[in-house]
Structure 1
Amino acid sequence: MAKERYYARNWASFHFMGNINNFSYCVVNAAGQSLAEFFHNSKNIGLILWANIAFGFVARMLNTFVLEKISTRAKITFNVVIMATGLVGVAMSVYVNFWFCLACISLIGIGSSFGESVLLVYLKQFPSEMVNGWSSGTGVAGVSGSLFYIALSGLAHLENQTIFLIILPTIAIYGLLFFLGIKIPRTKTDALLSEDTPLHYEELNEELVNTANDDQGQIPTQDDMDSMIRPEVGPPGETKKQRYIRCARLVWWNAINLMLVYFFEYVASVGGADLAVRSLKGDWFNENAYPILSFCYQFGVLLSRSSLQLVKIKRIGVITVLQGINMALWLLQGRYKMISSIWVLFVLMFYCGLLGGASYVNVFYLILHDKRIPNEDREVCINYAALLVTLGITLASVFILVMDHTFMKAYLPVTTDSSSGESSLLMSLNI
Structure 2
Amino acid sequence: MKHCGEFTEKKKQLKLQKPRSVGSWSVARHFAFSMEQTDAGVDLHPSNGCCTHWRSCTGFWLLGLCNNFAYVVMLSAAHDILKKQESENGTASTTFTLSVDFHGRNSSNSSRYDCNPISTAAVLLADILPTLIIKICAPFVIHKLPYGIRVLLCAVMAATSFLLVSFSSAVWMSILGVIFASFSSGLGELSFLSLTVFFTRDVLQGWGSGTGAAGVAGSFLYSGLTQIGLSPQTTLLIMLVVPVTMLISYFFLLVPPPSLPQWKSRNYVAVSSEDRRRLVDGSEDEEQDKSTPEDRSAGPLTFTEQLYVIKGLLKFVIPLGVVYFAEYFINQGLMELLYFPNFYLSHAEQYRWYQTLYQFGVLVSRSSLCCLKIRKLCALSLLQVVNAVLLLFAVRYQFLCSAWVVFPIVFYEGLLGGAAYVNTFYFISKETEDRQREFAMAAASVGDSLGIALAGLSAFPVHRYFCNL
Under a length normalisation based on structure 1, what TM-score does the superposition of the two structures give?
Answer: 0.82
- The alignment status of 1:35 with 2:94, answered yes or no, reads no
The 3-state SS of whatever aligns with 2:144 is coil
> Structure 1 residues 23, 313: CA separation in 2 closer, same or farther (over 3 Å shift)?
same
The 3-state SS of whatever aligns with 1:288 is helix
Please say if residues 280 and 287 of structure 1, whose CA atoms lie closer than 8 Å, have aligned partners that are also in contact: no
Aligned to 1:213: none
Task: Give the counterpart letter for 1:129 in structure 2.
Answer: D
> Structure 1 residues 207, 285: CA separation in 2 closer, same or farther (over 3 Å shift)?
farther
Match of 1:267 among 320, 323, 329: 329
Match of 2:161 among 83, 86, 106: 86
Aligned to 1:175: 247
Match of 1:314 among 368, 375, 379: 375
Corresponding residue pairs, total: 384
- The alignment status of 1:110 with 2:183, answered yes or no, reads yes
> Structure 1 residues 338, 172: CA separation in 2 closer, same or farther (over 3 Å shift)?
same
> Structure 1 residues 286, 177: CA separation in 2 closer, same or farther (over 3 Å shift)?
same
Deviations 1:380-415 (A, max 9, x none): 212222112111111111111121124x3445xxxx
- The alignment status of 1:57 with 2:132, answered yes or no, reads yes
Taking the TM superposition and a 5 Å limit, the aligned residue runs for 1:183-332 are 183-184=255-256, 199-203=271-275, 204=277, 206-207=283-284, 240-277=302-339, 280-284=341-345, 288-332=349-393
Match of 1:346 among 381, 399, 407: 407
Q: Distance in 2 between matches of 1:244 and 1:293?
A: 40
Task: Give the counterpart letter for 1:267 in structure 2.
Answer: F
- The alignment status of 1:44 with 2:95, answered yes or no, reads yes
> Structure 1 residues 118, 43: CA separation in 2 closer, same or farther (over 3 Å shift)?
same
Aligned to 1:333: 394
CA drift of 1:227 comes to 9.7
Aligned to 1:26: 72
CA drift of 1:282 comes to 3.4
> Structure 1 residues 33, 88: CA separation in 2 closer, same or farther (over 3 Å shift)?
closer
Q: Distance in 1 between matches of 2:236 and 2:430?
A: 38
Task: Give the counterpart letter for 1:147 in structure 2.
Answer: F
Please say if residues 295 and 434 of structure 2, whose CA atoms lie closer than 8 Å, have aligned partners that are also in contact: no
Q: Distance in 2 between matches of 1:101 and 1:334?
A: 33
The 3-state SS of whatever aligns with 1:280 is coil
> Structure 1 residues 171, 226: CA separation in 2 closer, same or farther (over 3 Å shift)?
closer
> Structure 1 residues 227, 123: CA separation in 2 closer, same or farther (over 3 Å shift)?
closer
Task: Give the counterpart letter for 1:131 in structure 2.
Answer: L
> Structure 1 residues 237, 129: CA separation in 2 closer, same or farther (over 3 Å shift)?
closer
Task: Give the counterpart letter for 1:253 in structure 2.
Answer: K
Q: Distance in 1 between matches of 2:290 and 2:247?
A: 40
Aligned to 2:195: 122
Task: Give the counterpart letter for 1:363 in structure 2.
Answer: T
Which protein has the larger Cα radius of gyration, Structure 1 or Structure 2?
2
Please say if residues 273 and 290 of structure 2, whose CA atoms lie closer than 8 Å, have aligned partners that are also in contact: no
> Structure 1 residues 237, 304: CA separation in 2 closer, same or farther (over 3 Å shift)?
closer
Q: Distance in 2 between matches of 1:8 and 1:391?
A: 33
CA drift of 1:244 comes to 2.3
Task: Give the counterpart letter for 1:142 in structure 2.
Answer: G
> Structure 1 residues 226, 13: CA separation in 2 closer, same or farther (over 3 Å shift)?
closer
Report which stretch shifted further, 299-308 or 193-202: 193-202
CA drift of 1:295 comes to 0.4
Q: Distance in 1 between matches of 2:203 and 2:238?
A: 29
Please say if residues 231 and 374 of structure 1, whose CA atoms lie closer than 8 Å, have aligned partners that are also in contact: no
Task: Give the counterpart letter for 2:135 in structure 1.
Answer: R
CA drift of 1:207 comes to 3.9
The 3-state SS of whatever aligns with 2:143 is coil
Deviations 1:8-31 (A, max 9, x none): 111111111111111111111223
CA drift of 1:58 comes to 2.1
Aligned to 1:380: 439
Query: Unaligned 5+ residue runs, structure 1?
Result: 186-190, 209-221, 412-431
Query: Unaligned 5+ residue runs, structure 2?
Result: 1-46, 87-91, 97-119
Please say if residues 270 and 295 of structure 2, whose CA atoms lie closer than 8 Å, have aligned partners that are also in contact: no
- The alignment status of 1:144 with 2:217, answered yes or no, reads yes
CA drift of 1:193 comes to 7.3
Please say if residues 296 and 349 of structure 1, whose CA atoms lie closer than 8 Å, have aligned partners that are also in contact: yes
Report which stretch shifted further, 381-390 or 226-235: 226-235
> Structure 1 residues 109, 308: CA separation in 2 closer, same or farther (over 3 Å shift)?
same
> Structure 1 residues 341, 63: CA separation in 2 closer, same or farther (over 3 Å shift)?
same
CA drift of 1:3 comes to 5.5
> Structure 1 residues 334, 48: CA separation in 2 closer, same or farther (over 3 Å shift)?
closer
CA drift of 1:86 comes to 1.5
The 3-state SS of whatever aligns with 1:202 is helix
Please say if residues 131 and 361 of structure 1, whose CA atoms lie closer than 8 Å, have aligned partners that are also in contact: yes
- The alignment status of 1:365 with 2:426, answered yes or no, reads yes
Aligned to 2:53: 7
Match of 2:463 among 404, 408, 413: 404
Task: Give the counterpart letter for 2:451 in structure 1.
Answer: G
The 3-state SS of whatever aligns with 1:291 is helix
Please say if residues 197 and 429 of structure 2, whose CA atoms lie closer than 8 Å, have aligned partners that are also in contact: yes
Q: Distance in 2 between matches of 1:137 and 1:30?
A: 20
Please say if residues 36 and 44 of structure 1, whose CA atoms lie closer than 8 Å, have aligned partners that are also in contact: no
